[in-house]
Each structure stands twice: as structure tokens, then as C-alpha cells.
Amino acid sequence: MAAASDRKRAAIILAGGDGTRLSALVRGMTGREVPKQFCSLLGESTLLERTRRRVEMTVAPYDVLYVVSQAHQQHYEPLLADIPRSNLVVQPDNRGTAPAVLLALIRMAAAAPEASVAIFPSDHFLSDDGDFMRHVEMAFDAVEQRPEFTVLLAMQPSHPDTDCGWIEPAHRIVAGGHDLYRVQTLWNKPDTEAAVRLLKHGGLWNSAVTVGRLSTMLGAIMVGAPELYAAFAPLRAKPPSARSVADVYRELRPAGFVEQVLGGAPVNLAALPVPGLRWVNLGEPQRVRQAWNQLGLRSVWSIGS
């Protein structure tokens, strides 16, 4: 990690999930059990490599932390062999995105407590990475001018999808010279009636890409998930050892960063719309096929069709 004085913008790539919903599809493609982020689902590059290239369009490589799980070592080590070990945040187990984010923020706070941070899942398809990262830069601008806000990148919906998160926006605000919208409610997988209503009244898909000041995100965890924040107290006083991290994780319940943390403290959430891009969260087999169709890969990958 760079010294605190050298560094204002940083990123966290979440790559510690088990990808269980895609396990059958991946097994059919590769003949083995591989978490989706380490698999080349959309061509020659793995999803993690695609995410890394996207993030490095805006954030310097030495300012990117990768959160992985120890059980996946054989998969992530070849892909991340060139990064400094200090940029690798290894969880003893996967306990969901909220502990993963908190562990990375604690690591980052030791080197750059004043940083602005962007959090990225590693299982997304985007039709234009450059345009998307231009909006991430806008979100950085916004939180640097208005540090009380945490910004979610919001995608234009094409249909009333009930399998993804939604953002119900409120009134417009201006931050960093950009138009954002206060978040009224975060919806996690709404039913059909709610999804239709959200689509009709200007709701947006939640990409889960999140930008905020490091201190603001720690505060959001403290308010939205106080038990989780308290559980990590032994890890904040000094650089934690692998044993101390394992001790904390042993007692953790799984928790989602968007669902439990941001959804639990939505007061200063803002949405930045990203118009004109096709976006797919590759969490389900049908979503992977949707991305294949958009990339013209269906004739190449026919597994499970």
C-alpha cells in the first residue's frame, strides 16, 4: 500500500464468495469446482481479471485491495501473483460481504485513514467498462465534496427484475458537480408487484458498486451492523494476526454489506444513475446466458442451455 500522503482514492474488490448458485454451470464448463470469480465465464479472462482491469482504469494498482477466502488459495494465487502481499486480504472463511468489507477497511485505515474508497463485486458484466468507471470517478468527486454521503452506482432497469436489488430514489442533489439522488429505500429482491411499481416510478437497479469516504463507511457499519462492528474490535488496535482474524470469524454470522449495512442505515445514501449501459449481475445461470448473448458467446458456450 502507498503511504497515506500519496493516496486519496482506493478500491476494494470482493472475491471471497463461493458462487454456489453457479456451481453446476461452472462444473459443466470446467469439469471441476471453481468459484465463479476465478472462472473464464465471458471469454478468455476470468471475472476477477476483468474486474481488476476495470478498476485499474480509475484506481492505481497499488491502491486496490483484494478480499479472498483461504479455501480458494489455489485459485486466487496464480491470478494475483504480481500484487504485493499487503494488498491481499485473506479471510479464514466466507461470511458474506459485510465482514469482507470491514476487514478490508480496517487494513486500509492503517495506511490511508482519509482515503475515499470504491467497493466492487467481482461478478459483473458491463457493456462499456470505460464509461462505467467514468461514473465511478464522478462518485469519487461527490463524496470528496460531500463526505457525509455514500454513493451507489445505479443502473437503468430494462424490466421488473425480482432477483436483483433496487434503489427507490428521492429528490435530486448536486455533489461534486454531478446530479445524484437521495436514496429513499433499498429493496433486496422485491416481489413482482413491487418490482413493477419500482420500474414504473423511476426505480433503478443497484449495482452494489459503492463509493464513500473510508471513515463514513466505517460509521455506516457501526450504525447499520453494530454487532459486527463490535466483533471486529480486537482487530482494530494493531495489525491483526491470522490467528486473531480466525478467532473473530469463528463466531460471525453471515451478513451482506448492502442488505445489512447500507439497508440498515440509509440516511445519507445517494444514487448516481449510469444511463445507457447494459449491466448483468452474474449470480444466476440465466444471467450468465444473458451476458453470453450480448457478447455473442452462446455458440461457444452451450453448457446448460
**Per the domain annotation, does 301 fall within a domain?**
no
Tell me the chain's radius of gyration from C-alpha atoms.
18
Q: Is the pLDDT of residue 147 over 70?
A: yes
| Residue 138: closest CA among 262, 278, 272 | 272
Q: Is the pLDDT of residue 177 over 50?
A: yes
Q: Is the pLDDT of residue 2 over 70?
A: no
**Per the domain annotation, does 262 fall within a domain?**
yes
Burial label, 147 (beta-carbon count in 10 A; 0-12, 13-18, 19+): middle
What one-letter code names the amino acid at 224? G
Q: Is the Cβ–Cβ distance between 118 and 12 less than 8 Å? A: yes
| pLDDT tens profile 233-247 | 999 877 888 899 999
**Per the domain annotation, does 302 fall within a domain?**
no
Residue 68 confidence (pLDDT): 98
Residue 113, Cβ neighbours under 10 Å: how many?
A: 12
Percent of the chain with pLDDT over 70: 93
How far apart, in whole angstroms, are the C-alpha atoms of residue 188 and residue 276?
A: 23
Q: What pTM does this model have?
A: 0.92
**Per the domain annotation, does 237 fall within a domain?**
yes
Residue 173, Cβ neighbours under 10 Å: how many?
A: 15
* pLDDT band, very low/low/confident/very high, at 286 (cuts 50, 70, 90): confident
Q: Is the pLDDT of residue 203 over 70?
A: yes
Rounded mean pLDDT of 99-106?
97
Question: From residue 48, how far is each of 13, 17, 142, 166, 197 by CA, in Å?
Answer: 8, 12, 27, 24, 34
Residue scoring higher pLDDT (16 or 1)? 16
* pLDDT band, very low/low/confident/very high, at 298 (cuts 50, 70, 90): low
> Strands, E, within 114-251: which ranges?
116-121, 124-126, 150-155, 165-175, 178-188, 204-213
How far apart, in whole angstroms, are the C-alpha atoms of residue 168 and residue 199?
A: 9
How far apart, in whole angstroms, are the C-alpha atoms of residue 195 and residue 302?
A: 31
Q: Pairing state of beta strands 116-121 and 88-91? A: unpaired
Grid coordinates given for 136? 465511478
Number of structural domains (the chain) is 1
**Per the domain annotation, does 300 fall within a domain?**
no
How far apart, in whole angstroms, are the C-alpha atoms of residue 206 and residue 302?
A: 29
How far apart, in whole angstroms, are the C-alpha atoms of residue 14 and residue 108?
A: 14
Residue 110, Cβ neighbours under 10 Å: how many?
A: 14
| Residue 212: closest CA among 175, 162, 237 | 175
Residue 297 confidence (pLDDT): 63
Domain extent for 250: 4-295
Q: Is the pLDDT of residue 304 over 50?
A: no
**Per the domain annotation, does 188 fall within a domain?**
yes
DSSP 3-state of 137: helix
Q: Is the pLDDT of residue 28 over 90?
A: no
Residue scoring higher pLDDT (305 or 87)? 87
DSSP string covering 77-105, please? Answer: HHHTTTS-GGGEEEESS---HHHHHHHHH
Percent of the chain with pLDDT over 90: 73
| Residue 176: closest CA among 201, 149, 202 | 149
CATH number of 57's domain: 3.90.550.10
| Residue 42: closest CA among 296, 303, 305 | 296
**Per the domain annotation, does 303 fall within a domain?**
no
Residue 264, Cβ neighbours under 10 Å: how many?
A: 16
